[in-house]
Amino acid sequence: MSGVEWIIPILLTVITAATPLVFAGIGELVTEKSGVLNLGVEGMLLVGAVAAFVTATVTGNYFLAVAAGALAGAFLAFLFGVLTLSLMANQVATGLALTLFGVGVSALIGQDFVGIPVDALPKLAVPGLSDIPVLGPVLFGQDALVYLSLFMAALVSWFLYRTKGGLILRAVGDSHNAAHSIGYSVIGIRYLAVMFGGAMSGVGGAYLSLAYTPMWAENMTAGRGWIALALIVFATWKPGLVVVGAYMFGGITILQLHAQAAGLDVPSQILSMLPYLATVVVLVLISKDESRIRKHAPACIGKIFHPAA
Amino acid sequence: MLLKIEKRPEPSRKMVYVTPVLALLLTVVTSMALFEFLGVNPVEALRNFFIVPINNKYGATELLVKATPLILCAIGLSVGFRANVWNIGAEGQLTFGAIVGGGVFVYFHDVDSVFLLPIMIAMGALGGAIWGGIPAFLKTRFNANEILTSLMLVYVALLLLSFLVHGPWRDPDGFNFPESRVFSDSATMPVLLEGTRLHFGTILALLAVFGTWIMLAKTLVGFQVKVIGAAPKAGAYAGFSQKKIIWFSLLFGGALAGIAGVSEVAGPVGQLLPSISPGYGFTAIIVAFLGRLHPAGIIFAGLLMALTYLGGETAQINLGLPVAVTGVFQGMVLFYLLACDVLVNYRFRFNKIGKVTS
Amino acid sequence: MGDGGTPHGALKPRLELRGITKAFPGVLANDKIDLKILPGEIHALLGENGAGKSTLVKIIYGVLEADEGDLLWNGVPLRIASPHAARKLGIGMIFQHFSLFEAMTVTENIALGLPGRQNMAELARRIVEVSNNYGLPLEPHRHVHTLSVGEKQRIEIVRCLLQNPKLLIMDEPTSVLTPQEADKMFETLRRLADEGVSILYISHKLDEIKALCHKATILRGGKYITECDPTQETSKSLAEMMIGTNLVAPEHVENATRGEVRLKIRDLSMETSDQFGVNLSQINLDVRAGEVMGIAGVAGNGQVEFLEALSGEVLSQDPANIQLDGKPIGKLGPVERRNLRLAFVPEDRLGHGSVPEMDLVDNAFLSAYSQKKLLKAGFIDRSTTTAFAEEIVQKFDVRTAGVSHTAGSLSGGNLQKFIVGREMLQDPRLIIIAHPTWGVDAGAAAAIHQAIIDLAENGAAVLVVSQDLDELFAISDQIAVIAEGRLSVNRNIREITIEEIGLLMGGTHGAGERKEVSSVA
């Protein structure tokens, strides 16, 4: 390849690797901003992936497939809400349960669909623009979900910081007792935030099984849900930084593909460790400054709310 | 609202025992509906899940074989969970323990000594402790969330094992399969009952249960674990070090998971393979909670979860049920348990309708 | 604003409650309570902790729903379903524990209390206008966590004022203010009343009720006792109506001779670890055997950090910063300090002084295992620990069904007695007590005060940190004031006036004076 053309496939794979993280990260960000820690992202991604994949194979309709992914994720998140918000179960334990449950359920639903190929989500080609060298295919030749992920990130950012609704959501996460005493429905707002997070994870899962690898395999998320959780800490709960972080991790994830193509003599397993090791390193770097985390983290995160009296 | 959830003045001791049973009943009922949906007679399915696997001596010992790693991992995790240290990387600690313990055999495969196995077990414990110690270090030194770091290390350990058995540790006489040498007799857990796979690891698990029970109930460090978990500020007030307890619970949990790992590869598995555990380290989280984070409870919960593994296999062979049912069942138990646990701290009350003029 | 005009002339009450009843599991919090507030009236709701005041105002504000009874607003019976509904009617509420969001700005906090959408710039302008108009200056763009407690309260008041309230409910508003700040707030309240706003003023501070309120309704044990005109009552008669028995002040013999110095604090400075905390700066103090040293101050002025430094939960830079009987202990941890017979009662009973989920035996072991030798050969000696727990329960009259019950199941007063007892029965040479009777019923408070005085008379040094000046005046021999992380010189309790303490609490010249004197000493 000559010139800068070689960078196009790299950029394209970075985008596809980053998009599920953008969805899951932005969704979980909203959940956490309301003061709820849902560690079940991995489970919601998986259930979203399998629901979307099954729907796509059965109906062939990608719009329905993505909607099914979102619904499945939101449903799992709703279960999480019932346990943690209505029945006041420990959020950490329930999040783990959600992941374990999601792994099991997705494997059960998807067992007859393993290995079936499906056409990848069609790319939108903006006539004229997507033919521009380098920038064209990267900026204007993506599938609809890539654009949706960035749009959602912008939308969430606008909602959180520019609307009264966003102010209320942040207030509930900052002090649920204060919010309750001035008359906001803490539980209701948190249900909405949790289910939004679930729906976004579901769409992220749909992206994995419809666009990233177009197929279904058990446990195909390979820890992306957990990486999305780490991303939020990395981004100190800011939507813009979640996107930046997702693209960074996308870059690290595809490093292995391109390093091997470039003939680098490193065992594939060692390269595959990179995203996980990078997550640990990033967490360490960002958490080192404890006061910074505490300043940005929603003050009520993970705490149980019981409107006592 | 007619139905109100009301905090109890103090946690109900009765409910602590009632809710796991209730959760189990709900899971069984839901599973029966699921079996019906999958086109299998629910009663027949339950029989295959819970009775057929253990209605003979071999089946009963297999139950113990499967329960052994679950109990070892869950005991370790329960200490952490009590201290509010969320180690969810037992699978990785188990794997790294197997790597370090099994590695002893890989390098000393021609040694025939009674010390080989004890050294492997000790190294397995050390390996697990190292893998648990990393999140402890990152947590105490850099404040990095142990949930995420311990989990990330699971993937690293699994990939490391895969790399080793595909590469440097591959059996030279193994036709290029990604497997280590088969462990020699002196590197294998002694079988306790002739004709079965019941092995010495089960005894180690029982020792761990007993020792942990004493530790939690009777010693200062056990008391510290409980106080730091329930009220960290009260722990600081009493002069207990939270960092010490983070280290302790992760090293302890890691070591037990490491022993579980080595007892698997030196026991039923018999060699190092790319995959040595069907997710014992994750299922152990369920075992720990279902066992109420109590050593005695963990024995029962461990046996039950082991039964779901066996039952899943039996139901697959006899009824053609997908193996994935096991995972659903396990996840569901934990879900229902967490839901039912509301009854420990709260009670439901029907509200009188207030006579307020409107 | 409001109906304007005649404060007491209007005959129709703005708010009337008839027979309000509300039960919680095991308690009848409100038992047939009647209340009448006229337009422009400042009406006191007087009662001890647990008398049912908070429950009643939560019912008025729509947070709770009454089981029985009628509520009439301007003579019309209605039901207030939520705080939103209450605010719509014109009811505003200032909470005791502020309903503020620390991480947000003043404007955002106020916007959250207003209905509908706001133009933030416009709102900020109105905040400045209203707050200046009522002498409650606020900077709209500041983040709440950077503000003083008094400023935080202003946010709550301005939030209410922006909605043109007809009735303003204030729950213990002066508990967080210096006497001078309180006086200023009273002026604002009087002006509001003159404008026709009714004010329901909840307090147990008798002097301020006499100074401020036109009427008082007294509650005791969830029941309506009487309505009276507080200006016609003495503090003593009000107190007796509130408590129901004749008051006995703790017996307090002044120590003629002050003993040797037990606790010596020298140049103690400390950076806070809490982003909302206060740094300690150059604290010096001597506490002698046999005396009670009171530390006054508005909450959030470094008390938490000071107490952590004394208990050993946070270590000082130099061991000699803190000395006990001449021994430097600044670098010793809590257990080592306890072994030198320093005992400590923290502010937060649940979760700091005790583990709520654990039983009383475990909670007795918590801080006493070393002093009381409750470990035998490395194992917990459960029977000796149980005996110790039972001794605490018996000697300090802790009302509980048994020591196997959890700390969390005890009432505030009983748990406080248990913790105080656990510390005192370890025979301390120095005891540090934070807010000894905060949220405790009068009976338990009296018992705790007496125990503190007795302990000092038996030769222990006692350091009490409290926000309650009445309490400090009742039990202390010496008093010092903490403000903005600095500690004033201590003064004999009989030689200092409330006004002087108030000025020191405001931080006006506490620090400067300190330096002069300490250089002499």
In A175-234, the residues whose Cβ lies within 8 Å of chain B are 218, 222-223, 226, 229-230, 233
Q: Is B5 on the interface with C (CB under 8 A)?
A: no
Domain contains A308: no
**Segment A267-281 mean pLDDT:** 90
C113 touches chain A (CB under 8 A): yes
Enumerate the residues of chain A whose CB falls inside 8 A of the CB of residue B88: 96
C-alpha distances in Å from residue B22, one per residue of B30, B291, C147: 12, 13, 50
pLDDT tier at C110 (50, 70, 90 boundaries)? Answer: very high
- Hey, are the CB atoms on C112 and A177 less than 8 Å from each other? no
Query: Does B162 contact A269 at a Cβ distance shorter than 8 Å?
Result: yes
Residue A307 covered by a domain:
no
Choose the mutation target among A75, A76, A78, A100 for the interface with B, i.e. most B CBs under 10 Å. Answer: A100
- Is the pLDDT reported for residue C517 higher than 50? no
Write the CATH number for A203: 1.10.3470
Q: How far apart are CA C75 and CA C238, in angstroms?
A: 29
Whether residue B43 is contained in a domain is answered as no
* CB burial of residue A268 (10 Å; 0-12, 13-18, 19+): middle
Q: Does residue A305 sit within a domain?
A: no
pTM higher than 0.80? yes
Out of B316-325, B349-358, C74-83, C287-296, give the one with best mean pLDDT: C287-296
Is the residue at A157 inside a domain?
Answer: yes
Q: What is the 3-state secondary structure (H, E, C) of A26-70?
A: HHHHHHHHCCCCCCCHHHHHHHHHHHHHHHHHHHCCHHHHHHHHH
Whether residue B163 sits in one domain with residue B21: no
pLDDT above 70 covers a percentage of chain C that reads 91
pLDDT at A284: 93
The ipTM value here is: 0.90
Per residue in C364-396, pLDDT tens?
999 999 999 999 988 999 999 999 999 999 999
Same domain, B99 and B151: yes
The Cα–Cα gap between C508 and B256 comes to 60
The C-alpha atoms of residue B119 and residue C435 are separated, in whole angstroms, by 57
C116 CB neighbours in chain A (<8 A) are 164
3-state secondary structure labels for all residues of C237-297: HHHHHHHCCCCCCCCCCCCCCCCCEEEEEEEEEECCCCCCCCCEEEEEEEEECCCEEEEEC
Q: Is residue B310 part of a domain?
A: yes
Q: Count chain A–chain C contacts defined by CB atoms under 8 A.
A: 60
Taking the Cβ of residue A88 and every Cβ of chain B, the question of whether any pair is shorter than 8 Å is answered with: yes
Chain C residues close to A167, C-beta within 8 Å: 104, 108, 111-112
The answer to whether B11 contacts chain C (CB < 8 Å) is yes
Asked whether residue A59 is domain-assigned, the answer is: yes
Shared domain check, B260 and B159: yes
Task: Give me the residues of A, 110-149, that contact B with CB < 8 A.
Answer: 111
- B44 within domain boundaries: no
State whether B12 and B117 are in the same domain. no
What is the tens place of the pLDDT at every residue in A114-161? 888 888 888 776 666 667 766 666 666 788 899 999 999 999 999 999
Are B9 and B72 contained in the same domain? Answer: no
**Is C58's Cβ below 8 Å from some Cβ in A?**
yes
CB contact under 8 A, A101 and B143: no
- Distance, in angstroms, between C331 CA and closest chain B CA? 13
| DSSP states of B125-170 | HHHHHHHHHHHHHHHHHH---HHHHHHHHHHHHHHHHHHHHHTTTS
Residue B346 lies in a domain: yes
Decide if C62 and A183 are in contact by the 8 Å CB cutoff: yes
Query: In whole angstroms, what is the distance from residue B56 CA to residue C445 CA?
Result: 68
Compute the count of residue pairs across chains B and C with CB atoms less than 8 Å apart. 91
In a domain, B294, yes or no: yes
User: Based on C-alpha coordinates, what's the Rg of chain C?
Assistant: 24
What whole-number distance in Å separates Cα of residue A170 and Cα of residue A155?
Answer: 15
Looking up residue B170, the CATH number of its domain turns out to be 1.10.3470.10
Q: Give me the pLDDT at residue B75, please.
A: 97
* Domains in chain B, number: 2
Which domains does chain C show, CATH number per domain?
15-90+164-243 (3.40.50.300), 258-341+431-441+462-521 (3.40.50.300), 351-427 (no CATH)
Residues of chain A with Cβ-Cβ distance to B315 below 8 Å are none
Are residues B343 and B262 part of one domain? no
Determine contact: C180 vs chain B, CB below 8 A: no
> Which run of H or of E encompasses C375?
strand C375-376
CA B24 to chain A, closest CA, distance in angstroms equals 15
Beta bridge partners of C270: C280
Q: A185 is in which domain, residue-wise?
A: 7-296
For testing the chain B interface, which of C366, C372, C374, C426 should be mutated: the one with the most B CBs within 10 Å?
Answer: C366
Tell me which residue range forms the domain holding B175: 52-319
What CA–CA distance (Å, rounded) separates C170 from C93?
Answer: 6
* Residue with the larger pLDDT of the pair B38 and A31: A31
Average confidence (pLDDT) over C475-481: 93
Are residues B213 and B87 part of one domain? yes
pLDDT above 70 coverage of chain A, percent: 93
C-beta atoms of C334 and B9 within 8 A = no
Q: What is the reported pLDDT for B356?
A: 36
Q: What is the pLDDT of residue B95?
A: 98
Residues of A in contact with B289 (CB under 8 A): 93
Tens-binned pLDDT, residue by residue, of chain B (358 aa): 457 778 887 888 888 889 999 999 999 999 999 999 988 899 999 999 899 999 999 999 999 999 999 999 999 999 999 999 999 999 999 999 999 999 999 999 998 899 999 999 999 999 999 999 999 999 999 999 999 999 999 999 999 999 999 989 999 888 888 999 999 999 999 999 988 999 999 999 999 999 999 999 999 999 999 999 999 999 999 999 999 999 999 999 999 999 999 999 999 999 999 999 999 999 999 999 999 999 999 999 999 999 999 999 999 999 888 888 898 999 999 999 999 988 988 888 775 544 333 3
pLDDT of residue C52: 85
Q: Is C511's pLDDT higher than 50?
A: no
| C-beta atoms surrounding C129 within 10 Å | 12
Q: How far is C-alpha B151 from the geometric centre of its chain's CA atoms? A: 14
Instruction: Say if CB A21 and CB A250 are below 8 A apart.
Output: yes
> Considering the domain boundaries, does residue B47 fall inside one?
no
Chain C residues whose CB is inside 8 A of the A304 CB are none
C272 to chain A: closest CA residue: A291
- For residue A304, tell me if it sits in a domain: no
B24 in a structural domain: yes
Q: Which two tokens stand for residue B278?
A: 């069907």
Contact yes or no for A96/B88 (Cβ under 8 A): yes
- Say yes or no for a CB contact (<8 Å) between B354 and C67: yes
A302 domain residue, yes or no? no
Are B350 and B315 members of one domain?
A: no
pLDDT above 70: residue C240 = yes
User: What does the pLDDT look like over C128-175, one tens digit per residue?
Assistant: 999 888 888 899 999 998 887 778 888 988 988 888 899 999 988 887
Q: Which of B218, B230, B352 sits opposite C357 (nearest CB)?
A: B230
Q: What percent of chain C shows pLDDT beyond 90? A: 51
| Of residues C398, C369, C371, C402, the one with CA closest to residue C385 | C369
> Rounded to whole angstroms, what are the CA distances from A271 to A166, A244, A259, C77, C227?
40, 22, 8, 73, 79
Structure tokens at C162: 């922006």
Task: Identify which of C404, C396, C419, C401 has the alpha carbon closest to the alpha carbon of residue C361.
Answer: C404
B194 with B231, same domain?
Answer: yes
Q: Is residue B140 a contact partner of residue A287, using CB atoms and an 8 Å limit?
A: no
Structural domain contains residue A1: no
Is B45 inside a domain boundary?
no
What pLDDT, on the 0 to 100 scale, is given for residue C251? 61
In this complex, do C356 and B219 lie within 8 Å of one another by their Cβ atoms?
Answer: no
For A198, the enclosing helix (H) or strand (E) is helix A186-207
Residues B220 and B240 in one domain: yes
Closest partner CB to A174 (pick from C63, C104, C113): C104
The total of structural domains in chain A comes to 1
Nearest-Cα residue of chain B relative to residue C68: B355
Residues B18, B59, single domain; the answer is: no
Please state the rounded mean pLDDT for residues A170-185: 91
Would you call C164 an interface residue with chain B, using a CB distance cutoff of 8 Å? Answer: no
